[in-house]
Structure 1
Amino acid sequence: MDLSCFKAYDLRGRVPDQLNPELAEKIGRAYVEVTGAKKVIVGYDIRLSSPEIAESLSNGLMAAGADVFDIGLCGTEQVYFATSHYKMDGGIMVTASHNPKDHNGMKMVGPESRPISSDNGLNDIRDRVLEPFTDAPKQGGREPLEVMSAYVDHLLGYIDAGSLTPLSIVCNAGNGGAGLVIDQIEQHLPFDFIKVHHQPDGHFPNGVPNPILPENRAATADAVIEHGAAMGIAWDGDYDRCFFFDENGRFIEGYYIVGLLADQFLRKTGGGKVIHDPRLTWNTLDLVKAAGGEAIESKTGHAFIKQRMRDEDAIYGGEMSAHHYFRDFAYCDSGMIPWLLVAERLCQSGQTLSSLIDARIEAYPASGEINRTIDDPAKVIAAIEAKYSPDAKSINHVDGLSIEYDKWRFNLRMSNTEPVVRLNVESRADKALMEEKTEELLAEMHRLNEAG
């Protein structure tokens, strides 16, 4: 049996050769045997293969003796919400997020929506799939569970509705699931939503929803300009990531949104801990300190950030990849809470989004993440460290290599899944220096790779 769909954090693969109903049924059985779960939330995204895979998964869960609570078509964060809110033993979301349309996958959580990844059960589930199964003495049942209303109420709890003023907002669901939530939430808000690629459609007529790809941004940016909107928002297919465009249609790097959300949250709470990833840090550190919070660095990746947030009881965590995590959302990531907080900030401050962001980009210009295919990533990173460490102010290895100087810093890390090295560079208010050092590092990486 091909089990290549099992990854470090979740399952993803082509349908039907890497993931299919037969395998999904076995995964359901294995999930119950490994976790001991008795009550499991199941939801699925808008992909054409998702209902059938969710059906087989549910049959496997029930055959192993678990009761299934079916929340139907939804986003990943609704599985997280329902699992914690209704105190279930676990939850499984059938989704391949922004992968190609012939792919599908699953994201799994345990009690309190704690992630299940390769180091805490996912590999055990994979290995158990290969063994024979017998039905549980008592089969589980299945019932539908309506979570949208409780979920929308929860989302609205993050903002002060009384402080909101009319805004026009472009929202691009990418024909994923986000439009379903916008349709429910808009009746509670004084906003005018301009809806782009709004209808859920697993054929993805406008391309797979992945707003991080530059070629997928124009539809949102153009609509912002055409309608004179205050901002634009775009989501991936299962809407656990959201991306922002200012009133000029400019795409905003996720790094600057982390700082903005940390600042907004700390203003509300009067302090607290904020978790961030090590790729780009100075802007976040600056804003968190100014707002009376404590910034804590964590390794990149949702399983690491969620665990660190629990350990520290952090109020918010952010990654520059547009994943944003919230303590009151079971420490999970949401693609809906961030835009509500940014919209609230626009209303309360009377400022434009560009004016809130421009000063931060000037203070800490950043390269954005640059990926390079490298034959021997570990060797290249070690050579870069040897060359750049003698004059460094600090060096750390929380996630890859971070080297810091007075005026600039960089992070260089290997991908978990491919022979790719990811570079991020930032400076203190010196764009030319940031660009110069980025080019210098890329040239050095190229030279080392060519030299073998």
Structure 2
Amino acid sequence: MFDLSLIVKAYDVRGTVPDQWDERCAEALGTAFAQLLRQAPDHRDAVLIAYDMRESSPGLAAAFARGIRGEGLAVIETGLGSTDMLYYASGVLDLPGAMFTASHNPARYNGIKMCRAGARPIGQSSGLAEIRERAQALLDRGEARPAGEPVGAHERRDLLADYAAHLRGLVDLSGIRPLKLVIDAGNGMGGYTVPAVLGDAVLPALPLTIVPLYFELDGTFPNHEANPLDPDNLVDLQVAVRKHGADLGLAFDGDADRCFVVDERGEPVSPSAITGLVAVRELAKYPGATIIHNLITSQAVPEIVREHGGEPLRSRVGHSFIKAEMARTNAVFGGEHSAHYYFRDFWFADTGMLAALHLLAALGEQERPLSELACEFERYVSSGEINSTVPDQAGKLAEVKRVYGAAELDELDGLTVRFDDGAWVNLRPSNTEPLLRLNVEASDRERMTALRDELLALIRG
């Protein structure tokens, strides 16, 4: 018997196929999703479904669609797509949606990211827990959906060209200087969306020369995992950028909603720097606007936002928190340390592709190399996220709090410690594993290294 509590996470569904979930679970989840939607006073009569290139994705998506249709709702299948392409469809058509993907996880995983109409997120507190309970009850009774219900309609719609045109319409690249870029799609959905948005597959060509790496859709990830957050998965991109003399390199994760950047030297550009760069561009269009940043983003981000007349707002880590704050404050842009970038012009949803367009415009509108441009937004030295296995996470957090009690503390998300010299550390527990995640930032590498090692000794000691 399947236990859906193992796969229904804080923000989405994620687990291994077929041992943790299969098409029976997908149909039950589809039924439960439709039942949840029908309860809403402004419910829609159709649901959008898209899926990535994983071998299990089409079958899981089809089973989910059976559950939806069994509840009398129609299904609009958009076929292959990136997660941000599903958000586009949900926004422009004002319909709820489900994206079948496990993002950056290995090949044996799959998952579902669900949203309400207008790309509004669904998390544990906004419907996901209820979906899990309803679906578990169906599975426990040995049925995916009630018998005798009407069957909703089904249609197929191709939205790739419309998605590409929408993004192109948000950032003007027509006047930029010619740029050469290497793009590593990691055999994920970037291989499907990049030619449409940045290439000339469906729209007029841009002044870009693209060197493609691993654009072939292959959910077994034969070259490397589609997880650019792991430095090992950036090596091929870094080598190719230097080999081809490119102006920059871009790497997308499996569902192509996150975009990582390396400069002309092959050196990574931090997501905090990209957040600062895009924030400046958005503030030029919307003076005085609010910019959201999570608490692990560099201190440079709120400094830069204030310097350009904006209002920075600090948020917990996680897309459901960011999107809620974006909607509540009508923020124009939000950025996370994990390379998720959120835009008011994109229904407050995240899209790495739109962030990439902003970066290309900023680079192409001036003559300096990316390494020099990025220096404006890189002011501090950070450790990156370091995970430690800790069985008693609460106990260890309490110990760290006692040790650093004389410093400035806050507990918005885990524990953040701020020191008089501007250095800070954040230690927060994983939602799904016995891990503590450490981030450290300081004004120079010596201070950051000393503080990092001090904390790791305490955490692991």
Q: TM-score normalised by the shorter chain: which range applies?
A: over 0.9
How far apart are the structure 1 equivalents of 2:297 and 2:356? 21
Q: Is the 8 A contact 1:253 1:368 kept in 2?
A: no
Q: Is the 8 A contact 1:280 1:425 kept in 2?
A: no
Q: Look up the equivalent residue of 2:130 and give its one-letter code.
A: D
2:154 aligns to what? 142
Residue 250 of structure 1 deviates from its aligned partner by 0.9
Q: 1:85 to 1:359 in 2, by over 3 A?
A: closer
How far apart are the structure 2 equivalents of 1:178 and 1:446? 38
Q: Look up the equivalent residue of 2:36 and give its one-letter code.
A: V
2:41 aligns to what? none
Please point out which of 11, 14, 20 is paired with 1:18. Answer: 20
1:309 aligns to what? 326
How far apart are the structure 1 equivalents of 2:413 and 2:12? 20
Please point out which of 122, 129, 134 is paired with 1:116. Answer: 122
Partner SS for 2:64: helix
Matches within 5 A, 1:395-414: 395-407=409-421, 408-414=423-429
- The superposition leaves residues 420-448 of structure 1 with CA deviations (integer Å, 9 ceiling, x where unpaired) of 111111123x221121111111122223x
- The superposition leaves residues 254-273 of structure 1 with CA deviations (integer Å, 9 ceiling, x where unpaired) of 22222222122222323311
How far apart are the structure 2 equivalents of 1:52 and 1:137? 22
How far apart are the structure 1 equivalents of 2:173 and 2:454? 49
Partner SS for 1:48: coil
Q: Look up the equivalent residue of 1:290 and give its one-letter code.
A: E
Matches within 5 A, 1:352-431: 352-361=369-378, 363-390=379-406, 392=407, 394-407=408-421, 408-428=423-443, 430-431=444-445
Matches within 5 A, 1:12-411: 12-36=14-38, 37-88=44-95, 90-129=96-135, 130-131=137-138, 133-135=145-147, 137-185=149-197, 186-187=199-200, 188=204, 189-361=206-378, 363-390=379-406, 392=407, 394-407=408-421, 408-411=423-426
How far apart are the structure 2 equivalents of 1:38 and 1:439? 55
Q: Look up the equivalent residue of 1:157 and give its one-letter code.
A: G
How far apart are the structure 2 equivalents of 1:289 and 1:167? 31
How far apart are the structure 1 equivalents of 2:191 and 2:251? 10
Q: TM-score, normalization: structure 1? A: 0.95
Q: Is the 8 A contact 1:75 1:178 kept in 2?
A: yes
How far apart are the structure 2 equivalents of 1:210 and 1:136? 44
How far apart are the structure 2 equivalents of 1:332 and 1:303? 10
How far apart are the structure 1 equivalents of 2:450 and 2:295? 21
How far apart are the structure 2 equivalents of 1:420 and 1:76? 27
- The superposition leaves residues 353-398 of structure 1 with CA deviations (integer Å, 9 ceiling, x where unpaired) of 111223543x3111111111112111111121122131x2x32111
Partner SS for 2:121: coil
1:440 aligns to what? 454
User: Aligned residues, how many?
Assistant: 442
Q: Look up the equivalent residue of 1:81 and give its one-letter code.
A: Y
Residue 95 of structure 1 deviates from its aligned partner by 0.7
How far apart are the structure 1 equivalents of 2:458 and 2:256? 37
Identity within the alignment, %: 38
How far apart are the structure 1 equivalents of 2:220 and 2:383? 34
How far apart are the structure 1 equivalents of 2:11 and 2:69? 24
Q: Look up the equivalent residue of 1:12 and give its one-letter code.
A: R
Q: Is the 8 A contact 2:174 2:207 kept in 1?
A: no
How far apart are the structure 1 equivalents of 2:287 and 2:348? 19
Q: Look up the equivalent residue of 2:383 and give its one-letter code.
A: S
Q: Look up the equivalent residue of 1:371 and give its one-letter code.
A: N
Q: Is the 8 A contact 2:50 2:77 kept in 1?
A: yes
Partner SS for 1:157: helix
How far apart are the structure 2 equivalents of 1:260 and 1:397? 28
Q: Is the 8 A contact 2:31 2:70 kept in 1?
A: yes
Q: Is the 8 A contact 2:186 2:215 kept in 1?
A: yes
Partner SS for 2:431: coil
Residue 419 of structure 1 deviates from its aligned partner by 1.2
Q: Is the 8 A contact 1:24 1:57 kept in 2?
A: yes
Residue 252 of structure 1 deviates from its aligned partner by 2.2
Q: Is the 8 A contact 1:65 1:136 kept in 2?
A: no
Partner SS for 2:113: strand
Q: Look up the equivalent residue of 1:287 and give its one-letter code.
A: I
Q: Is the 8 A contact 1:64 1:136 kept in 2?
A: no
- The superposition leaves residues 90-129 of structure 1 with CA deviations (integer Å, 9 ceiling, x where unpaired) of 1001111111111111110012111111111111111111
Residue 135 of structure 1 deviates from its aligned partner by 4.3
Q: Which moved more, 1:315-324 or 1:122-131?
A: 122-131
Partner SS for 1:207: coil
Q: Look up the equivalent residue of 1:274 and give its one-letter code.
A: I
Q: Look up the equivalent residue of 2:396 and give its one-letter code.
A: V
Q: Look up the equivalent residue of 2:191 and give its one-letter code.
A: G
Over the aligned positions, Cα root-mean-square deviation in angstroms equals 1.4
How far apart are the structure 2 equivalents of 1:356 and 1:166? 17
Q: Is the 8 A contact 1:401 1:413 kept in 2?
A: yes
- The superposition leaves residues 225-256 of structure 1 with CA deviations (integer Å, 9 ceiling, x where unpaired) of 01111100001110111100000011222222
Q: Look up the equivalent residue of 1:426 and give its one-letter code.
A: E
Q: Which moved more, 1:141-150 or 1:156-165?
A: 156-165
Partner SS for 2:54: coil
Residue 207 of structure 1 deviates from its aligned partner by 2.7
Q: Is the 8 A contact 2:297 2:336 kept in 1?
A: no
Q: Is the 8 A contact 2:182 2:240 kept in 1?
A: yes
Residue 176 of structure 1 deviates from its aligned partner by 0.6
1:450 aligns to what? none
Residue 288 of structure 1 deviates from its aligned partner by 0.5
